[in-house]
Chains A and B, each alone.
Chain A
Amino acid sequence: MSLPVPKNETTTVRPVWFAVWPIARTALHLVFRRKLFWLLFAVASMSFLFMFGAIYLLATLRQQFPQVEKLLTNMLKDLDGSGTTYLNFMLAQGTVTMILLAFAGSVLAGNDHSRGGLMFYLSRRIGIIHYALGKLLAIGLLISLTTTLPALVLFLEYGLLGEPGDYFSEKYGIAFGIVGYGALLSVAVGLLLLALVSWMPRPVPLVMLWGGLFVFLPVLSEILSDEFDNSHWGLLNFWRDVYILGSRCFGEVDELFEGATGVVAGVSVCSIIAILFRLRQLQHRS
């Protein structure tokens, strides 16, 4: 019988941390097989395509009618190529990204908990930390696919269609801002999603809870802010909180920055505790 490797043969084995990638890749593979994912991704891409087309149109108009440049810049402040352009784009992607994550959550990690996949992973040389990091990486990449990556493409487009040398040399900080905000989104939202999926692996309750957090709470926060004339109620909107922190990556400081930092940090720490506690519980249950 042919066994994989003769006993006297030595092979190089990568450190255990590299096992995070196959975990993430498998989770993404399972999500990409869903038609619903591609439908939602198409919806998410519409906003990107609109922005892409608008930037192209603007650049063409600027080239052909230089005299209207000032007028166009004043009319379309959101498309002036500054950090705000990309910041607002990533904020606008929030709704569809949240819907995407709500449906993908169960596939990304929930099925492992309800169908015994966790046992499979933990019988390998990895621990719950590696497992959780693999899943977080998958969620992070999914978030980046609808926020960070398109924002970077728009940044490149804006630079290349204008004066590339000047734009990239003067505004290279924007690229770091996009990556920073994207990383923040991936970590904060990823931790929250994984924590919820760990405790609520089935899709329907997860979608309902996720919807409550990212649809009901923002609406509630607006009503309460208006009612009590206190902007701190706005902190109930988690996506907005991450946006406030992310805007710091573009050099902008919001008056609610400290409050938002507290909320995001608190939610993240609670999520980490919830994830580890749940995974330990699942690992040691009968």
Chain B
Amino acid sequence: MTLERPATTESSPLVEVRNASKWFGPLMALNGISLEIGPGITGLVGPNGAGKTTLLKLLTGQSQASLGEIQVCGHDAWLAKAKAHVGFCPYGDATWDELSGRRLVRVTAGLHGFTGAEARRRTESVLETVGMADRADRPVRTYSKGMRQRIKLGQALVHDPDLLVLDEPLNGIDPVGREGLGDLFLRLAKAGKAVLISSHILNEMDHLADHILFVCRGKLLASGSLETIRDVLDDYPLKMRISCAAPRRVAPQLMALESVKSVTVQPPEDLFLEVQNPNRFYAEFGEFATAHDVDVHRLKATDTSAEAVFDYLMERASRPE
């Protein structure tokens, strides 16, 4: 079920998915998904096994939908014409361990029909773009995770696609690497490309995506801007852990806050809270801590995993209006 219609961009969408379903034997991996993707960064978020990879496979023409229609730049995604507009950055890279980064990009240029000087020019250009020109002669197996992602991004960009599909590009990357890759994605989006990033961590999309697609159990659960999603999550019952001095004194006072549903004290200094509306709680707690002079050592949400969010969204969507 969809909580709202997928937002359309100002220009015509690059990708149109209409009622796409895909099943593998008895397993229904995608169930009647409809969505549109335009220029900018779109986050495809869902827990493991939600159907993200299947959707990416359909969008990149690796697999064909059992039912429904998928169009990329006006062509059926299954056809070579559509694939010419798509750059795919796969999750795995074990196959390419022995190739050098430069050779991997060159091979991809060759697969897209570029040869000789043109292939070389494109290879050097994308290596420069992804910041790997000076390290591209080493075998891929010697690269760090971040460098691998950059090289994979390079091979996806070599034919200058309109749609970039990135499968879990930030998985396992350290914070510095994430920032660098994030900047790169933003620059690509500014250059007019549609960048689709899949992730199972909602927070990864915070500073990147201007449009989010929530997928869970093969269905598009919600789509829209980050603000829209945040509004939907306003009532999300969040579990919090607060470490502070004198938790027994603070616990009854916290119960007075409207957004707090329950408080459990765990000596010597921990409090476990269940809050109803995270945004309102953060605002109330700030005032509360100042007013009551609470010495807070740590404040952490303990169940922000995508699975928890999706369970909530599923439950919310099935509620009668």
Contact = CB atoms under 8 A, between A and B. Distances in A.
A and B co-occur in one complex:
yes
B7 interface: no
Contacts of B160: 3-5, 7
B111 A115 contact: no
B27 A15 contact: no
Interface stretch (B56-64, B202-210, B225-233, B271-279): B56-64
Contact of A125 (B57, B80, B121, B188): B80
B114 A124 contact: no
A18 B96 CA distance: 21
Contacts of B121: 4
B24 A11 contact: no
B311 to A, nearest CB: 22
A14 interface: yes
B268 interface: no
B252 interface: no
A124 B122 contact: no
A115 B103 contact: no
A226 to B, nearest CB: 47
Interface in B28-72: 29, 54, 57, 60-64
A115 B27 contact: no
B108 A124 contact: yes
Contacts of A4: 121-122, 125-126, 129, 157-160
Interface residues of B, number: 47
Nearest to A18: B113
A18 B115 contact: yes
A116 B90 contact: yes
B64 A3 contact: no
Interface string A131-155: 0000000000000000000000000
B86 interface: yes
Interface string B94-111: 111011000100011011
A286 interface: yes
B99 A3 contact: no
A2 B64 CA distance: 34
Contacts of A122: 61-62
Interface stretch (A22-30, A185-193, A254-262): A22-30
A119 B62 contact: yes
Contacts of B113: 13-16, 18-19, 125
B157 A115 contact: no
Nearest to B119: A22
Q: Which of A5, A124, A284 has the most CB of B within 10 A?
A: A124
B125 A126 contact: no
Contacts of A112: 95
A123 B160 CA distance: 15
B24 A119 contact: no
Contact of B24 (A23, A25, A29, A284): A284
Given A14-B113, A126-B80, A284-B24, A3 B63 contact: no
Nearest to B78: A127
A285 B90 contact: no
Interface string B265-305: 00000000000000000000000000000000000000000
Contact of B64 (A5, A123, A284): A284
Contacts of B27: 286
A261 B187 CA distance: 60
A115 B95 contact: yes
A283 interface: yes
Given A3-B157, A11-B118, A111-B95, A22 B110 contact: yes
B83 A125 contact: yes
A66 B274 CA distance: 105
B103 A121 contact: no
Interface string A99-125: 000000000000110011101111111
Interface in A1-60: 1-5, 7, 11-16, 18-19, 21-23, 25-26, 29-30, 33
A123 B62 contact: yes
Given A14-B113, A26-B99, A1 B54 contact: no
Contacts of A119: 57, 62, 90, 92
B258 interface: no
Contact of B98 (A2, A7, A30, A120): A30
Contacts of B110: 18-19, 21-22, 25
Contacts of A124: 83, 88, 108, 111-112
Contact of A123 (B60, B118, B191): B60
A284 B65 CA distance: 9
A111 to B, nearest CB: 6
